[in-house]
């Protein structure tokens, strides 16, 4: 059996925040994917993780010792509309303490109905669970804070959506599943004392240094704002589009979570949307920084009773903290872009240099990832070199990088370390999922994962996976998987 070291701290919170619930057993679980690297990082015994007992745990058929399975309650603004939610198909087995004393959630996604299922069956289809496995591990390799995927098991049972699918359960790892929506739930349906307990718990678990501040709740707000500004800047720097930035999908820890309708952008376009249900482009690539600020404002609203006893003063403190978001985001965004362009120092016109490049890429529908790779290795696409606007910009860039005391080798190394050779291209992800789900062939997925594991290595076997999909009249669409 898996050597989990559980220590349940979340259940020390008031009972409004969770419900005790056991996973619903499945017929014939089978281990399909195991993240051996992550298992080692968690301090789990590789041999024990692959036993029949461990597979039964991943399937929800066996509750490990000291586990206290719960479903968490939370709320959320979904596409701007506020509603009560909760874990409708996910069950938190417990909090595992790693050998280096880190606390992480062990959650089963697709483990059956809970009190928050809202009429759903609590199950998950195989395709979306494999998709989350691929994308979350790719994000981790890209050095972007994220939940991780430990295992995927098939259930041996069908899942019915618009048609019949094979059922599966994903074991998800996260530093916690605390969300903006958790605080919204407390603010709307709890007492102020319960909101305070939640905030104190969050500070202790994620931001202990802030507990020493004169106003720890204001310090918490500012720390979350900083984490989210950095996270969303990192999304923008690799062309990642989350697809469903509801407040229940914004973690307090600053990790990316929920990989339903997400995807990576090929041709650069700020209006890019992949989600099949985002009809108005609320969560388009170019809107993500704004939505991050909108979500953080909702978080700040929940903390008003804790920020100051005088409501007017509390609002002023919240507004002051929120005003830092745009500044922080731009700082992280500029830092990232300077590195992508081989720039070590700062000049006042750097922002214009970056924006002018993006405008050219937008007008030419240039591939986001490969344009930066071309700059890195000096192998420009013919379409770009035939553009007067790009040629003019390229001269400005060359002049810019010449005004720093760095060798060309140092500049190239900085760019190589910040421009990935590969991203999980949508057509490659679909290719892997189709082979796994329809043919039971996981070789395609395994090879893709191997290529994505070191995106900044720039190896020869990655070049094949760097090519965008062939042009299609049918836009690429992703789905939430529920």
Q: Is the pLDDT of residue 481 over 60?
A: no
Block residue for tokens 């509801």: 246
Q: Is the pLDDT of residue 10 over 80?
A: yes
Residue 54 — very low, low, confident or very high, per pLDDT cuts 50/70/90?
very high
Asked whether 117 and 88 are in contact (CB, 8 A), the reply is: yes
Of 460, 373, 387, the closest CA to residue 418 belongs to 373
pLDDT value for 471: 79
> What's the average model confidence in pLDDT over 433-443?
97
> What's the average model confidence in pLDDT over 434-452?
97
The region of weakest confidence among 26-35, 50-59, 363-372, 382-391 is 382-391
Q: Which residues participate in catalysis according to the annotation?
A: 248
Block residue for tokens 């170019």: 286
> What's the average model confidence in pLDDT over 366-380?
94
> What's the average model confidence in pLDDT over 396-405?
96
Q: What pLDDT digit, counting tens, does each position of 281-313 carry?
A: 899 999 999 999 999 999 999 999 999 999 999
Total count of residues recorded for the chain: 482
424 phi/psi in degrees, rounded to 5: -75, 85
pLDDT value for 104: 98
Q: What pLDDT digit, counting tens, does each position of 157-177 carry?
A: 999 988 999 999 999 999 999
Block residue for tokens 């909090």: 95
- For residue 204, the Cα-to-chain-centroid distance in whole angstroms is 23
Block residue for tokens 């990576």: 264
Q: For the chain, what is the mean pLDDT?
A: 95
Residue 129 — very low, low, confident or very high, per pLDDT cuts 50/70/90?
very high
Q: What pLDDT digit, counting tens, does each position of 234-255 carry?
A: 999 999 999 999 999 999 999 9
């Amino acid at each position: 059996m898996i050597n989990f070291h559980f220590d349940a701290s979340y259940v020390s919170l008031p009972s409004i925040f969770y419900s005790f619930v056991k996973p619903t057993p499945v017929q014939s679980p089978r281990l399909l994917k195991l993240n051996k690297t992550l298992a080692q990082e968690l301090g789990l015994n590789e041999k024990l993780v692959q036993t029949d007992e461990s597979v039964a745990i991943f399937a929800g058929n066996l509750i490990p010792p000291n586990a206290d399975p719960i479903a968490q309650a939370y709320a959320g603004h979904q596409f701007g509309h506020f509603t009560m939610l909760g874990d409708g198909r996910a069950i938190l087995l417990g909090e595992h303490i790693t050998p280096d004393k880190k606390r992480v959630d062990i959650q089963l996604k697709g483990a059956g109905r809970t009190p928050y299922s809202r009429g759903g069956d609590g199950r998950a289809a195989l395709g979306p669970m494999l998709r989350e496995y691929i994308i979350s591990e790719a994000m981790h390799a890209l050095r972007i804070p994220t939940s991780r995927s430990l295992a995927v098991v098939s259930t041996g049972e069908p899942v019915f959506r618009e048609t019949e699918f094979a059922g599966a359960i994903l074991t998800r790892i996260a530093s916690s599943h605390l969300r903006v929506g958790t605080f919204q739930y407390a603010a709307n349906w709890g007492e102020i004392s319960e909101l305070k307990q939640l905030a104190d718990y969050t500070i202790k678990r994620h931001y202990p240094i802030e507990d020493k501040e004169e106003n720890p709740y204001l310090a918490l707000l500012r720390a979350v704002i900083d984490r989210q500004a950095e996270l969303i800047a990192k999304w923008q720097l690799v062309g990642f589009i989350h697809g469903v930035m509801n407040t229940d999908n914004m973690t307090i820890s600053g990790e990316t979570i929920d990989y339903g309708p997400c995807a990576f952008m090929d041709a650069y376009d700020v209006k890019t949307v992949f989600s099949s249900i985002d009809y108005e482009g609320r969560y388009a690539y170019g809107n993500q920084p704004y939505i991050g600020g909108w979500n953080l404002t909702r978080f700040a609203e929940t903390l008003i009773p804790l920020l100051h006893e005088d409501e007017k003063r509390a609002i002023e403190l919240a507004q002051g903290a929120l005003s830092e978001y745009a500044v922080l985001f731009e700082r992280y965004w500029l830092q990232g872009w300077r590195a992508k362009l081989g720039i070590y120092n700062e000049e006042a016109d750097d922002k214009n240099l970056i924006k002018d490049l993006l405008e050219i890429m937008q007008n030419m529908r240039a591939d986001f990832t490969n344009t930066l790779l071309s700059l890195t290795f000096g192998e420009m696409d013919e379409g770009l070199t035939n553009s007067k606007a790009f040629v003019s910009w390229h001269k400005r860039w060359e002049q810019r990088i010449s005004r720093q005391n760095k060798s060309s080798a140092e500049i190239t190394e900085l760019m190589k370390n910040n421009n990935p050779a590969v991203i999980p291209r949508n057509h490659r992800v679909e290719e892997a999922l189709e082979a796994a789900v329809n043919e039971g062939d996981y070789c395609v997925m395994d090879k893709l994962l191997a290529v994505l594991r070191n995106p900044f290595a720039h190896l020869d076997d990655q070049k094949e996976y760097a090519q965008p999909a062939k042009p299609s009249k049918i836009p690429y669409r992703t789905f939430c998987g529920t």
